[in-house]
Structure formats: structure tokens, C-alpha cells
Structure 1
Amino acid sequence: MEQVLVLVVLSLLGIAASHALSPRLGIAAPLLLVALGVLASIVPGMPTIEVEPEIILSGVLPPLLYAAAVQIPATDFRRELRTISGLSVILVLISTALLGVFFHWILDLSWAWSLALGALVSPTDPVATAIIKRLGVNPRVTTVLEGESMLNDAVALVLLRAAVAATAAAVTFWSVSWVFVSALTVAVIIGWLVGLLNLWVRSYVRDTTVNTVITFTVPFIAAIPAEMMGASGLVAAVVAGLVTGNGAAHVLGPQHRVADRQTWHALELVLEGAVYLILGLELLGVIEDVEARHQGVGRAVWIALAALALSLIIRTAFIIPLMGVLRRNAVTADEKRERIAADQAQLADLSTPPPLTILDRVSIRLRPGRPEEELHRRIRVRLLRAEADATYQVSTRLGWRDGALLVWSGMRGVVTIAGAQTLPSDAPERSLLILVAFVVAVVSLGVQGGTAESLVKILKPDPGQTPQQRAEERAKLQEMLGAAADDAIDQVQAEGLELDERGERLAVIHAQREVLLDARSVGVFTSSTLEASMRELDAEQIRLEL
């Protein structure tokens, strides 16, 4: 027992040291942790470390993906949903199929086992994208990478499960397709319900510590029922995180949100570090196993390198036309803004009927007594959101430099390794397959992750807003908040309320927060600017309420 405690304490210290030294050494913390794990594994007397893959898949990944989903701006995720869906679903399906052909040819495996290994090598790593986030690239690129890595591992694991099942029974393409679609659909429904339930329950809990304890359970409350129903627990955890993150500012107090943010950051740090330490600790053991049972590690290494190169080629071939689509969307968005301006003018002219969508017409038929002012308000908000989305497409165009970064950022990691270790014991050449997955992940992290910063310096991609644009946006938002403060004070005086300076300031903060939430729902400001203002209001409210 003492030995286990010593290992845990040393691991925590190693994780902390790696993150502290990473900026000074210019090496990403995950790479330092993998190297630390390898070095620790050769220390005399170090016990053999074997972690059950289910612990990572069911115990580590759900909270990690939930934490990432809680923090991703809902508006940005919505705007990039098509791109994220293409990368996390279509690209994974294509990669699985083509890599399956490669493994069938090179390893002489059955088609089912070949596709299973292809599914393992296809997803990008949700943890490894943290390397890119810290390099100050365009926020739109990081949103796409985060969204892709949150969802594509779940898609790949569903494909892996279907491929392994196909090795034991005769299945058809349609049966596999049905399992795939139903697994994702059920997971989305469960995650959405759990997210809403989480917000509802926690809105009645006043104690911050109790609230924090409850939030630890949410990813598992979403993932476990989904897995029991044959769906993807990881997708359920992601959806629960998206719902929670989007609704937290509406129903949770500032102290709860600040505590959640700090807690999940610390938990992310520990879980991410533990995953990479385990990877390093297990690597030499897997190599020894392959050396003893197969034709040496050389064969596994060159197969893994070829598979990684092929996966990058496939990713490049997919992203090149994707960038063309995004450029075309930016052009059509510019034209769309002209149509939106015409619709807004029509809405302002009360002598002409407002521009109605199909949903508006259905709503009128279902609720014929709805006031006309409410209908106009809904249409006005929809037009403002459409105008903001079009402006976003035009002002944040992604070029070929961003495309190159998207290709190189597709690193493999923990999902590939953990998924490989779930292969059944009767899998042909199981140790070899696991080592191939290990080598793909380690080389991908080492080469792609290790050169990401240099690539950014060479490519010099557009970082997004310039300092001047951020200052102008900030000034515009402050003007809007100032107007909200004046309105709040006028309302207090009109209602005849006698509030002291503290009470008056709290009323202003509540009014300003509502303005920020309305602006977030429409998307007229960048998420980073809105989040910074929201945190300032939270900090001031906490100070006043102490």
C-alpha cells in the first residue's frame, strides 16, 4: 500500500513539474510526461505498471471530454458544427475504411480485424489538442480541433465495437450502420437530458462545496446509462458538458461557476498528466512482449509509421476541399449580409409583412393568438444572429496556413492506445496490434506535437483579431454595458426602491449580465471578449456578496 501511495505522490509531483518546466524548455508537457514515464519504467525496482484500458475509457475520458465541452463556447461550436461533424464523422469513416484496406494488405488480417485497427488509428487525441491551444493560433482553428477531438474518438470507438462484433458473427452493412446511428442518437438524447437535469438540480443547491461534488458525477451519470443502452458514453458526456456550459450562466451563481472552472482545470491537469505518464510507463513492456512473441519490434514500427503517414495523407486530402468549402462559405456569407439587411429593413417597415421562415409559419398556426410584437422580436433576434454569423464567416476566413495547421494538428494519442488494449485476447497478433497503436500514438505526439510550435512560427497563420480590433470590440461592449447600467439605475429609481450603494451595484451587475447573455446568444461579440467581461462581473459580484 505504501508503494502505491509513493507512486501516486511522485506522479502528481511529476505532472506539476512537467507543466511548470514546459514553458521554459519549449517542450509540450505531454511529451515531457511520456519521456518521464519511459525513464521511470527503467528505474531498478520499478513495478510493472498495467492499467486496465476500461479505466481510461470509462473513468478518465468522460470527465476529460466533459471538462472540454463545458468550456467550449456554445456559439463557436454551433458555428463550426458542420466542419466539426465532417472531421469527426465523415473523415473517421473514410480513414477507418482506407486504413483497414492497408492493414488487410500488409498484415493479412481478416476485414473485420483490419477495420478494427483502422478505427483505432483514425481518431485525433482530445488531450493532444491542448498543445495547439497554447500556441496562440486563430481561435476558430482551436474550436474546430477541440470539437473534432471531443467527438471523433467516440465515433471511432463505436466503429471499433462494431468491427470486433463482426469478427464473432455475421453482420451486414445495414446492421452496422444502424448500430452506429442509434448509438450516437441515443447518446445525444441522454447527454442532453442529463445536462438539463444537472442545471436544474444545481440551481437549488446553495453550498458551493456540495455543488462541486455534484459536478464531479455529471459525466459519469451521462456516460454510464448510455453505455448500458449500447450507446456512446463519451458522446453523452460531451453533450452533457455542452448543455451545462451553455446554461450555467443562466442558472448558477458566480461562486459556483468560478469553483467549477478552477476545479475542472485542476482535474484536467491531473487526468491528462496521468494518461501520458501511463503511456510512457507501459511502452517498454509492450515492446518486450512483441519482441518475445513476434518477429521483433522493427516490423511493428515500420507498419505504424506507414499507417501514420497514410492517415496524414488522408487527412490532407479531406481538408484541402474542406478549406475550399469554407472559403466559398465566406464569399456567400458576404452576399447573405445584403439579403439580411433587406429583411431587417422590411421588418422595420410596419406597412409590409415581416420575412417569415417555415418555422415561423408553423408557429403562427400552432399559436394563432401570439402577439405580433413577440413574433417580430423573434424574427429580429434571428436576423441579428444570422447577420453575426455571416460577419463571423467573413471576418475570420481560414487560409491555407490554417489548413496546414489543421492537418498537422491531427495527433493520435490516448484513445488509440486505450482502445487497442480493449481488443479481445483471441485477437490475431494482439500484441503486435497493440504495439502498432502505441507507436502511432507516440510518434504522432513526438513528431507532430514536438514540431507544432516551430510550424506555427514558420507558417505565421492569422491569429484572429488584432490588438486594435480587440480594443475596439472591448470599447463597444463597454458602451453597451454602460447603457445597461444606466437603464438599471433608472429602473430602480422608477420603482422607488431604496438601495444602498452595494445593492444598487448588484442590480447593475445583474442587468449587465443579462446583456452579456443576450449578446452571447446572438453572437455579436467574440467569445473571448464576452467571457472576459463575464468573469469581471462574477469577480465583482463575489466581492460584494462576501
Structure 2
Amino acid sequence: MNLLIIVAGLLAIAGASQISDRLRVAPALLLLTMGIAVGFLPAVPAIVIEPEVILEGLLPALLYATAVAIPAINFRREFTPVAILAVLLVAVSSAVIGGVLTLVLPSLSVAWAVAMGAVLSPTDAVAISIARRLGVTQRVITVLEGEGLLNDATALVVLSSAISAAVAGRTSAGEVLGSFVLAVVVAVAVGWIVGELTLHLRARVTDASVDTVISFAVPFLAAIPAEHMGGSGLVAAVVAGLVTGHRSPRLLPPDHRIAGNETWHTVELVLEGFIFLVMGLQLFGVVEDVRAEGPPIATAVWLAVLAGVLSVAVRAAIVAPMLLWLRRRGARRAERWDGMSEPRQEFEERCQAIARGEIPKDMLVPWDSSRRGVRRRLKGLAKRLAKGRRGTGHAHARAHAAQAIDRIRRVDADMAYYQQAPLGAREGTIIVWAGMRGAVTLAAAQTLPADAPNRPFLLLIAILVAAGSLVVQGLTLPWVVRAVRPTMEGPADEAERRELMGLLISAAKGVIPENDDDHILTDDARRRIVLAAQGASALVAHAAREEAFEGGEDAGWAARRAEQARARALALDMVRAQRQALLDAGELGLYSAGLIEYALTRLDYEEITLVYREAVHEDPPARVVPAPSGGHTVPSAAP
């Protein structure tokens, strides 16, 4: 029977995902509705899922999968609004909702009311898929993703502190703050260590399937120790995912990454669908408990509506001043940075001279004493350069100079990023309306102890708030986007594409001289390789290199195969040089994350193809047959 239920659930998840685009409804909403309909069938018994199954078994893996996919550079740039929404908003929402519940339900103590407020505060990631499908700008998507990744820890810390206060006595605000800081610090440390260690372990694995199996354990390797050490297991899983997503292109082979990404996408689809399907199935059992114990279900409904309205109102009250402050702060920083253009240019020129080995006597920039902020940053870099010159010599100073140039370029890219897609009132409206409740709310509500007053009643409120926000906000979010007209994500800028293409061409050109000392390549073949690199297609470059070798039966198969092997080696070196250049540019934020990801994916597939061709060419040589139109000979399958 359980096996049939699992199979039916998998088919339901697949079906909802397949028809969601046709119906223009998020798969989560379809699964929630399906679960409610099935749960109220007379033949289906009440279903109860232990909260640990979701909190400890599903959410770490689900958050890890989301964290791996989020661009690290975007997360760094949007960390301030993410921290405000994930920490301040959750704390304020818990206090406000708890205070209102205390007023309308005098029988509910302040501690239990705040605990209920913490249950209703964290948002769900389902809004991200809806917003992304609508074409909302990447800045809004990143803010929503980051908030969904981190606000669970804040809500669970506030919830546990409120429950402790209700059961054991009073808990001070200082204790709650201390618990939160401890949970985050421990989680960040454990998640970072686990992410780095597992990446270096996976880099030594030769089988892509084995690597994927190891990746399944990573979120739990981070979450379980963090929980035992007093930290947040969910935040630890998120940090491990961020480290993995940022570092894996440099450490893991492309076939491992592609296989892992596809598998994790499937896992994410199944886990998210299972959570919302179970949410709907559980509603019947909760309703029966409330009917037996009271208060009336109608009271739970209007309290859920009140809590939902409060959550949106508090969110708007936090998001509006946050965006105003972020815009003013960004304008002040941009003004200061632009005001430093002349000394910054002089400083960068000096750094470039140092990086070339031309060490000037005076490494400092003539500073204007009226300027602050950015001036101090560059002055600190200048001091480190001077220290490198006085200390370990030119090599140390040149390394510091290169770092200084990279930092200047990174700040320039950040300023351009904020100016190109500002977060205004229109984008703020989408951020407010996309704050839906979901899986974490349900799981957190089930962690309420059995002796909590009116526990089924509180659980019903949580389910109604989550379901109501998903239905109301989820179905109306497309209409809101059309009404407010926020900045939408358009195609990649053509100038940015050309600039990125120039980077790839330079990286490809830099490989050719190192591998062509004996000048086997003709000028025409070299030109064709560079043109192939212009399309970021090392596979075409490989074909051009092979066509440059005109051989026949007299040339000898050994020499020809050696030349072809060198052609494949050159093509692989080109791919790897281009990937290194792309990763360096991505860390500096010189190009959009979407364009970088697209180019890296192309290079990954090309390297896999080249490696496969190399493995195929290790087989016995094929015989040569004349080409139908004359000219070059082509290999044929050996008999």
C-alpha cells in the first residue's frame, strides 16, 4: 500500500509539472489542491507526517539544491537586502503577529503567540519559480532566493526561544539574540568546512555517478553536525551549497557537474512537490482534530486571514524603507566612486606598472583629504603595495598590484550592476507580494509541543495561512507583474556578448603559441582556430585543426594519429583556458551571471565531447577511403 502511495505521488508530481505551463499555474498550487481533494476522500485516512521528516530529511537537501544553483556574485551583491529580510523582517513579523494574536485570543499567552508568529514568518521558494517564469529581473529573483535560504534559521531560533519561554519561564531578548548568533556562526563554519572538504574529496572521484551519490550526502554532512553543536542545520546546508556552487567549476570535471546538476534538478522537483502534496493531504486530519477539540473552524479561518494580511503589511513596512535606504546609499557610493575617477585611474596605472615589473618609487596616490569611504579603500591597497615593496620584493608587490586592480574592477562592476537594474517601488511591490508561506511554515507548526494550548487549532491556522498565501498571491502574482510593470529580464546585451567573445578569443590565442613550437599549424589553420574560438566552440576549433593535417596512406597512421592527438590536446587546452578566463571574470562580476553560466555550460559540453572523441580514437585505427568529392580523405569504420 505504501509503495502504491509513493508511485501515485511521483506520477502526480510529474503530471503537475507537465501541465503547469499549459494551465499557467505553479506546480506547487496544483499539488496542494490535489492533496486537499484526495485527503478529503472518504476512503483516505487522516495522514500525519512527523515534522522531523520535513525539517531534517527534506529541507536540508532542498535548500542545498537551491544554494548550489544561485550565482555567488549575485548573492554577494544582494546580501544586505537578503539579511534585512531574513533577520529583521522575521523578527518584526513574529513580534507583530504574536502581539495581535494575543489581543484577539486572550487565552493565548504572549510566548505562545510569538511562537505562532515565528511559524508564520518564513517565506517559501515557490514564488521564485513563478517570478522567474514571468521574466522578472534577476535582482528580484536573487533577493527572493537569498531570503528563502536564510530566513528559516531566524524563524526556527525565535520559535525555539518562544517555546522555551512558554514552557520553562521567561527568556530575555539577549538570550534569543545570543542563540541566533551562535546558530549562524556555528552553521557558517560547519557548512564552509564541509563544502570545501567534500569538494576536494569529489575532485578525486573518477566516476560521475559516484560523485553524484556523494553529493547527496553533503547537505546532511553539514546539517547534522551543526545541529549537534547548537547551530542551524539548514543554514549549514545552505553555506555548503554556496561553497559547492562557487568552487565546483574549478575543482570538478565537467561531466560530474552536468550529471550532478541534472540529478539534483530532479531531486528538487520531487522534494518540493512532495512537501506541497503532503501539506494538502494533512489538512483533513487537522480539521477533524479541530472539530473535536475546538475552537470553531470559522474562527481559525478569519484568524488566518488576519495573520496573512498582517504578514503582507509588515513585509511592505520593512521593504519600502529598505529600498529607499539602499537607493540612497548606492547613490552616495556611486557619487564618491565617480568623484575618485582621476586618482583611481592614476592608482590603477601605477598598479599595472607594478604588475608588469616596473616598480615606481612612489606607490601612493595624491589623496584629496575631503574624500572618504572609497579613498580609504584605495589607500589601504596602496599601503599593502608599499609593504610588499619593502618586504619580500618585487614578486610580492606585483601580486598585491594584481589584487588591487581586480578589486577596482570588481567595485566598478558592482556600481554598474546596481545602476543598470535598480530596485525601485515597482520591484519592491513584487518582492512584497511574492513573500508566500509554504513548507517551512507547515513543518515549523508541527514542531509545537503536544501540550501547547489548542495545538490542532494553531496548526490549522498555519496550514490555512500557507495555503491561502500560495493560492491568493501565487495566482495573482502574474497580474501584479503586468500591473506594476517592474524591470524585466531581457536578452543579454549585445555589447556585453561581444566583450565576452573578445575574452574567449584572447584566452584561445594565448594557448596556441604554447602548443605550436614546431609550427605544424599553417597560417590559415591558425586563423580558423581563432575564428572557431570566437564562437566559444573549441569543438569546431578541434575540427579545423584536424583538417589542417592532410595525410594519406603514405603519411603513415602513427604520425597522423599523433598529430590528431595533439590537435585534441590543443582543443582541450583552449577550452580550459577559456573556462579559467570566464571564472576569473565571473568572480569580478564583469559580466552577467546568466551569460557566464551559459558560456560555461557550452564549454563543459565541448570538453566532454572532446574527451569522448579522444577515448574513441584510442581504438584500432580506421581505414582511409577517398572522399566522394575528392580532396581530403575521411576515416571510415574499420572492418
> What TM-score range do you get, normalising by the shorter chain?
over 0.9
Aligned 1:188-203 pairs, distance under 5 A: 188-203=188-203
Partner in structure 2 of residue 516 of structure 1: 582
Report deviation, 1:146: 0.1
Partner in structure 2 of residue 9 of structure 1: 7
Aligned partner (choices 514, 517, 529) of residue 491 of structure 1: 514
Report deviation, 1:410: 0.4
Partner in structure 2 of residue 505 of structure 1: 571
Alignment partner of 1:134: what SS? helix
Structure 2 letter corresponding to 1:480:
L
Report deviation, 1:222: 0.3
Question: Does residue 1:220 correspond to 2:220, yes or no?
Answer: yes
Aligned partner (choices 33, 36, 40) of residue 35 of structure 1: 33
Does 116-125 or 170-179 show the bigger shift?
170-179
Alignment partner of 2:512: what SS? helix
- Where relative contact order (Cα < 8 A, 6+ residues apart) is larger, the structure is 1
Partner in structure 1 of residue 102 of structure 2: 104
Partner in structure 1 of residue 112 of structure 2: 113
Aligned 1:50-199 pairs, distance under 5 A: 50-108=48-106, 109-170=108-169, 171-199=171-199
Identify the structure with the greater helix proportion: 1
Aligned 1:95-494 pairs, distance under 5 A: 95-108=93-106, 109-170=108-169, 171-335=171-335, 336-339=337-340, 342-349=343-350, 351=360, 352-354=362-364, 356-358=378-380, 361=383, 368-369=391-392, 371-464=396-489, 466-467=490-491, 470-494=493-517
Contact 1:340–1:387 (Cα < 8 Å) also in 2: no
Structure 2 letter corresponding to 1:113:
W
Contact 2:363–2:385 (Cα < 8 Å) also in 1: no
Alignment partner of 1:369: what SS? coil
RMSD over aligned Cα atoms:
1.9
Give the alignment's TM-score, normalised by structure 2: 0.82
Structure 1 letter corresponding to 2:7:
V
Question: Structure 1 residues 353 and 15, CA, compared in 2 at 3 Å: closer, same or farther?
Answer: same
Structure 1 letter corresponding to 2:308:
L
Structure 2 letter corresponding to 1:134:
R
Report deviation, 1:48: 2.5
Report deviation, 1:333: 4.3
Contact 1:124–1:152 (Cα < 8 Å) also in 2: yes
Structure 1 letter corresponding to 2:228:
M
Report deviation, 1:357: 4.5
CA distance in 2: counterparts of 1:8 and 1:512, whole angstroms: 45
Report deviation, 1:131: 2.3
Question: Structure 1 residues 440 and 509, CA, compared in 2 at 3 Å: closer, same or farther?
Answer: same
What does the per-residue CA deviation read over 1:137-167, in whole Å, with 9 as the maximum and x for residues that have no partner?
0000000000001100121011111111112
Question: Does residue 1:26 correspond to 2:27, yes or no?
Answer: no
Question: Structure 1 residues 516 and 338, CA, compared in 2 at 3 Å: closer, same or farther?
Answer: farther
Structure 1 letter corresponding to 2:346:
A
Alignment partner of 2:460: what SS? helix
Contact 1:67–1:264 (Cα < 8 Å) also in 2: yes
Report deviation, 1:41: 1.3
Does 392-401 or 273-282 show the bigger shift?
392-401
Task: Give 1 or 2 for the bigger CA radius of gyration.
Answer: 2
CA distance in 2: counterparts of 1:140 and 1:525, whole angstroms: 14
What does the per-residue CA deviation read over 1:87-126, in whole Å, with 9 as the maximum and x for residues that have no partner?
1011111111111111121222222111111101111113
CA distance in 2: counterparts of 1:386 and 1:491, whole angstroms: 33
Report deviation, 1:359: 6.9
Contact 2:381–2:404 (Cα < 8 Å) also in 1: no
Contact 2:95–2:114 (Cα < 8 Å) also in 1: yes
Percent of pairs with identical residues: 44
Contact 1:154–1:235 (Cα < 8 Å) also in 2: yes
CA distance in 2: counterparts of 1:243 and 1:90, whole angstroms: 25
Question: Structure 1 residues 221 and 357, CA, compared in 2 at 3 Å: closer, same or farther?
Answer: farther
Give the alignment's TM-score, normalised by structure 1: 0.96
Does 256-265 or 526-535 show the bigger shift?
256-265
Contact 1:212–1:260 (Cα < 8 Å) also in 2: yes
Report deviation, 1:483: 1.4
CA distance in 2: counterparts of 1:208 and 1:312, whole angstroms: 45
Report deviation, 1:362: 6.5
What does the per-residue CA deviation read over 1:194-241, in whole Å, with 9 as the maximum and x for residues that have no partner?
111111111111111110000000000000011111211000000000
- Paired residues in the alignment total 542
Alignment partner of 1:87: what SS? helix
What does the per-residue CA deviation read over 1:365-395, in whole Å, with 9 as the maximum and x for residues that have no partner?
6993152211111110110101111111111
Alignment partner of 2:122: what SS? coil
- Which segments of 5 or more consecutive residues in structure 1 lack a partner in the other structure? none
Report deviation, 1:495: 8.8
Structure 2 letter corresponding to 1:348:
E
CA distance in 2: counterparts of 1:90 and 1:241, whole angstroms: 24
